[in-house]
Amino acid sequence: MSSEIYDIGYRHYDGPRLGRGYSTRALTVHSLRGVFGLGRTARSKIVPFALGIIMLLPAVVSIAMMALMKQRGMPYSGFTVIMQAVLAIFLAAQSPTMVAPDLRYRVLPLYLSRPVTIVEYVGSKVVAMTVALFLLIAVPLTLIYVGELLIDLEGPPQTKEYLGSLLMALVLALLLSSFGLAIASLTPRRGLGVASVIAVYLLASASVPVIYGTLTSTGNESAAKWAWLLNPFWLVDAVQVWLFGTPPHSDGGYPPGPAPAIIVVALIAVAIAVLMLRYRKAAAK
C-alpha cells in the first residue's frame, strides 16, 4: 500500500505577528463602525445618523440665538439632560446590534480562539459604544463653543463649563454604554434587547418624578433629592454639580457631597462585571 503527498497550493503565513493589541484595536474599530452602520446596508445607517442630526439641531438653534439675539442658548452643562431621550433611543437601538449577533450565532469561541481574551473582547465593545455616545454629545457641544467664540458675545467665553461638560459627557457615555451593553447582552434577540434597554430607561425616568413628588409632599425634601439619582442623566449631572459647581438641572437640586460620583463608579463596575460573567458563560457553551 503506497501513499502520496499532494501540494494543493496552501501557503504558510510568514509575515509579522501583530499580536493581541492589534486584534483588540481591530475589534474596537469594527464595533465602532457597526454602531453607525458603516460597512453595512443603507438601512443600518438611517437610525444612527438621523439621531446624530437631531442632536445637532439644538447647537444650530443656540448659534442662531447668539448671532441674532446676542445671548447664549442651551447651557453646556444641561445639554445631556435636555437631550436624554435622543441618547437613550440611540443606546437602545445600537447596543443590541453590537452584542446580539455574536451571541445569537455563537461565534464568540471563534474570537477567543485567537489571542483575544474575554476582558479584551468586552473592553473593545464598551470602548466602541462609549466613543460613539461621546461623539454624539461632544460634536454639538463643540459646535456651540466654536459659535460662541466666532460670534464674540459680551464677557469671557464659557470655556470652563464647556470642558467640564466634555468630561461629564465621557463619564455619561461610559455609564450608559456599560449598562446598555449589559442589558442587551442578556438576550441574543436584537428586538428584545432594544425593548429591554428602552424599558429600563423609561422605568427610571417615570419613577423619578413620582418618588420625588411623593417625598416632597410628605415634607422629606432632603430624601427627595436622592430620587433624581435613579436616572443616569441626572445622576451624572449631580456629579457635575459637585465637581464644577454648575447649576443643577433638576427641581430641588441633588444630595451634596461625593455620593453621586461613588454611585457612578459602582454602577459602571457592576455593569462591566455582568458583561464579563455573561460572556464567560457564552464562551463556555
**Amino acid identity, residue 36?**
F
Condensed to tens digits (0 to 9), the pLDDT of residues 219-240 reads: 888 888 999 999 999 999 999 9
Verdict on whether the full-model pTM lies above 0.85:
yes
Nearest to 279 by CA among 66, 168, 154, 120: 120
Query: Is residue 4 assigned to a domain?
Result: no
pLDDT (0 to 100) of residue 33: 92
Query: Is residue 14 assigned to a domain?
Result: no
Residue 81's contacts (CB-CB under 8 Å, 6 or more residues apart) are 233, 234, 237, 249, 250
Condensed to tens digits (0 to 9), the pLDDT of residues 109-151 reads: 666 666 778 888 889 999 999 999 999 999 999 999 999 888 8
Is the pLDDT at 187 greater than 90? The verdict is no
Query: Is residue 178 assigned to a domain?
Result: yes
The most distant pair of C-alpha atoms in the chain lies apart, rounded to whole Å, by 96
**Amino acid identity, residue 285?**
K
Query: How far apart are alpha carbons 175 and 247 in whole angstroms?
Result: 22
Query: Is residue 1 assigned to a domain?
Result: no
Condensed to tens digits (0 to 9), the pLDDT of residues 267-279 reads: 999 999 999 888 8
pLDDT (0 to 100) of residue 266: 97
Query: Is residue 209 assigned to a domain?
Result: yes
Condensed to tens digits (0 to 9), the pLDDT of residues 80-105 reads: 999 999 999 999 999 988 887 777 76
Mean pLDDT of 51-55: 96
Query: Is residue 2 assigned to a domain?
Result: no
Q: How many residues in total does the chain contain?
A: 285
Q: Which domain holds residue 192?
A: 19-284
Share of the chain above pLDDT 70, in %: 91
Average predicted confidence (pLDDT) for the chain: 87
Is the pLDDT at 10 greater than 80? The verdict is no
Mean pLDDT of 20-46: 86
Query: Is residue 3 assigned to a domain?
Result: no
Query: Is residue 47 assigned to a domain?
Result: yes
The tally of domains found in the chain comes to 1
